[in-house]
Structure 1
């Protein structure tokens, strides 16, 4: 991609947090296969490998750099489509923006037509998160402190067992390992095969896992795969298993979702990670559509928006469990909130270690807890295999 130059406002006073340029750097593809060092019980129960290079967004990845006066803010990884939206629609309007003023970001000039939808929101979120990173590094204050102050220095993690097969003979052993490792809870997938086989098959597969989990909280994720009739028949089984919440048995906000919500059966329903637009977020929260809120700072519009919906959920009596796609941002959010608002964040057992490989230092779970970053920067600086950016937009 060629270098472009756009007009910049006159500099009246030097500011480390003012954006002078936007760069995109290509990253290495996500590795294929399971992460190195995965415990044998987890590896044995793995039903599918993390997508790695099989998914375009994992194969062609970029780091976004917002260049200030001698310091930069980063966000990574982003897929090629998201990077292109940042380049085409957002980059020119970022020149001259003060990264320390997140509420002004929405009013910067946009040069394209992408305004809504998942990719547009991911692009806006990536820019917002990079602004927090730049502001934190420039001011030498942690992101959590910038969000209003650090409430806690470590946060419980719940283990996402997506990618493990609940019907595999090794699944109960994996569940026991998760409990022994100190995780706040564990979430297991409802595979298509189990859903189609009916509630009896689900009970047969999940009951040994639930027993092996012991006192560890137990959740399930339907990945939106159920039909309404299938989900309705599953509710009594999930109630018997005492699930802490059932995530996206159906597409959230749909007519079928509200029918399921009305049925109740004592099973809390969780959603929110795919509610990318503001109006959809408000409808789900204020409309009584969910019992548990799941926000993703990398999809929902960024940290400021995520904090807003977390506070709104708390006012409505709901706990928030941040989705794990942007773990460093989720940790900053959780560090600024008490445990009643955010009891735990998601740690994807087979995927998160692969995600962390792009950074010069990785986030690690210890005793089922994750450390909230106390030094400047939202994340560590990404490893850049290329010596030059594939795109650069700067002021003259």
Structure 2
């Protein structure tokens, strides 16, 4: 998809958005523990986000695509992803016009990394940085470049992953989420609850569902269930009236299709881990999912995410973007109507830590996230080092 650049901006895009150099800057590690300012019941029920326990959170970089007098950014990326960009993609980006995302696939690659999560994250980071550069060069928001701002704000659903649904404070959290105006709430099916069986799941989740009142309710299995465990949970999820159940099993697996065939009236959601194009199309067109989830930072970038969102809509499915790359997901949602993207994910304990990368974090109010009207996907990240970790330039 070629950027829909307004006529007034076309001249501005032509020269400044040509990439002259690619740089990586090291960022501070993600802080350990919970972010400050959480509501008391949320903090009480939280087990704490992974933080620096994950390698990609300990060693993080910002990728800079340098144009003529303007740069495009994407952050944070982990060390492995940054290395793939340096080894495989950076040299081929020199001379590329960031306003032509469809041409990215034809740029020279100098390594053999083509498929799999890290390769797709690297390709996604480069593509998102190109949108950021084209937006800043044209002084037009990314959502406007995607086709125009359809709505000024997008609802968010609260992801309670990292909270214990069996904790005594969990019902207070469920009530607070509804009162705070979130579109809905999603709770994890923890492994201890899955092992304890359907009655234990019902005992833990029934008070949450009641406390949520009329608010929408979802669950995330994180791919932890065996097929027999997932089958036994279906009646409980029907009783809970879940809007969707996310990844009870690994999507696309034999067990996943058996679960779909059971037809128990529980909408199944997946997509965030479908990183390669063929896998995305198989899930979407093979009657593998009821609800589509996409992450622009994992799926190949914004153009790819918009494509699969439109395809999902044509097939009668709503899309709920995954929250790992919130600024990109928000730009995508701002260009789509509510029927295509009803809401995007806001991780209660992790998102405030992710936002600390940026000088002006995204703020949520009344369960709504404002669509950015300024150029760029987000504010320029705050850098740790005074010199780039590496730089690739043209001849």
How high is the TM-score relative to the length of structure 2?
0.96
SS in 1 for 2:68: coil
Indicate whether 1:23 and 2:61 are aligned.
no
On the 8 A contact 2:22/2:90 being kept in 1, the answer is: yes
Displacement after TM superposition at 1:14 (Å) = 7.0
Deviations 1:280-319 (A, max 9, x none): 0000000000000000000000000000000000000000
Indicate whether 1:275 and 2:274 are aligned.
yes
- Superposition pairs of residues 46-57 of structure 1, within 5 angstroms: 46=46, 48-57=47-56
How high is the TM-score relative to the length of structure 1?
0.96
SS in 1 for 2:325: helix
- Superposition pairs of residues 177-192 of structure 1, within 5 angstroms: 177-192=176-191
- What is the rounded CA distance, in whole Å, between the counterparts of 1:24 and 1:121 in structure 2? 18
How many equivalent residue pairs?
Answer: 383
- What is the rounded CA distance, in whole Å, between the counterparts of 1:112 and 1:42 in structure 2? 45
RMSD: 0.8
Displacement after TM superposition at 1:54 (Å) = 1.2
- What is the rounded CA distance, in whole Å, between the counterparts of 1:277 and 1:388 in structure 2? 34
- What is the rounded CA distance, in whole Å, between the counterparts of 1:64 and 1:216 in structure 2? 39
- What is the rounded CA distance, in whole Å, between the counterparts of 2:279 and 2:76 in structure 1? 25
The equivalent of 2:8 in structure 1 is none
- What is the rounded CA distance, in whole Å, between the counterparts of 2:391 and 2:126 in structure 1? 15
SS in 2 for 1:155: strand
Deviations 1:218-240 (A, max 9, x none): 00000000000000000000000
SS in 2 for 1:157: strand
- What is the rounded CA distance, in whole Å, between the counterparts of 1:226 and 1:50 in structure 2? 22
- What is the rounded CA distance, in whole Å, between the counterparts of 2:244 and 2:153 in structure 1? 23
Indicate whether 1:221 and 2:220 are aligned.
yes
The equivalent of 2:377 in structure 1 is 378
Deviations 1:247-268 (A, max 9, x none): 0000000000000001121100
The equivalent of 1:360 in structure 2 is 359
Indicate whether 1:232 and 2:227 are aligned.
no
Provide structure 2 residue ranges, at least 5 long, that are not aligned to the other structure.
1-12
- What is the rounded CA distance, in whole Å, between the counterparts of 2:162 and 2:95 in structure 1? 44
On the 8 A contact 2:14/2:97 being kept in 1, the answer is: no
- What is the rounded CA distance, in whole Å, between the counterparts of 1:151 and 1:264 in structure 2? 35
- What is the rounded CA distance, in whole Å, between the counterparts of 1:118 and 1:383 in structure 2? 26
- What is the rounded CA distance, in whole Å, between the counterparts of 2:363 and 2:74 in structure 1? 19
- What is the rounded CA distance, in whole Å, between the counterparts of 2:332 and 2:107 in structure 1? 24
Deviations 1:98-135 (A, max 9, x none): 00000001100000000000000000000000000000
- What is the rounded CA distance, in whole Å, between the counterparts of 1:367 and 1:34 in structure 2? 22
Indicate whether 1:173 and 2:172 are aligned.
yes
The equivalent of 2:39 in structure 1 is 39
Q: Alpha carbons of 1:243 and 1:14: their partners in 2 closer, same or farther (altered >3 Å)?
A: closer
Q: Alpha carbons of 1:378 and 1:14: their partners in 2 closer, same or farther (altered >3 Å)?
A: closer
The equivalent of 2:3 in structure 1 is none
SS in 2 for 1:151: coil
Indicate whether 1:248 and 2:247 are aligned.
yes
- What is the rounded CA distance, in whole Å, between the counterparts of 2:336 and 2:144 in structure 1? 11
The equivalent of 2:10 in structure 1 is none
Query: Which 4+ runs in 1 deviate beyond 2 A?
Result: none
Displacement after TM superposition at 1:140 (Å) = 0.3
